Amino acid sequence: MSESKKQPTQREKKISNYIVVQHVGHGGFSDAYSAIDKQTEEIVCLKYRGCIQSTKSKVIEFELCQLGSLNHFISQLQNHRKLYFTEDIIVDWMIEILLALQYIKQKNIIHGDIKPANIFLTKDLHAKLGDFGSSIQLKNSSEKAKKRKGTEQYMSPEMLNEKGRKYDFKTDIWSLGVTIYELCNLERPFGEKDKSEQNKDKSKQHKTKSEQRNNIINKPLSERISLYVNI
């Protein structure tokens, strides 16, 4: 979900039980706003799904992640060139997202679009997994999915496969590996190649180069990334 400063419409301002403050982001099917819950007086995030041909809409309340997405911070560090995230904070975020993936796996859910733009930070720098627009809920833990969604640069070889190869929960681990690599190096391991070239590279035993770009990253984390993108 991309970030924005668009002002809420009059209809959106009238969402019952909330005082809408400002627009904080938007995705393909919804907009997100910071708002004040009138009952609890807490600042929350509202995901608003309006309908063009109806006055009806759906509003879902979430925890507000005031610092925005990891993608925003990656862009800032890329501008500085010589600055990187510390290994400790990367490991903390990795653990928090792994716990989130463990939880949704228990619900038979594949997120399907793990990437920095869909990981958000609270004011205390805790990482939260968001934007489940590409997620798929399976009937059971042994079922596999076939529908392709998500962002190509972070997709596993199974999801990129044009022959209809099915995939399971491991696809999220692959995408997390690519995300952690990007946090370490401020670039993706497969660059901006097209789908066929990317799939060819991913099918090989791709060795990450975390230690070559960011010399504060130790071998254990580099090996963990390699494990994820070769799963």
Residues assigned a catalytic role:
113
CB 1 within 8 A of CB 117: yes
Could you give the CA distance from residue 65 to residue 114 in angstroms, rounded to a whole number? 17
User: Which residue, 159, 158, 100, is CA-closest to 134?
Assistant: 159
Strand partners, 128: 120
Contact predicate 10/55, CB 8 Å:
no
Helix (H) or strand (E) holding 68: strand 68-69
Dist CA 167 CA 148 (whole Å): 10
CA dist., res. 178 & res. 188, Å (int) = 7
Residue 149, classed as helix, strand or coil, is coil
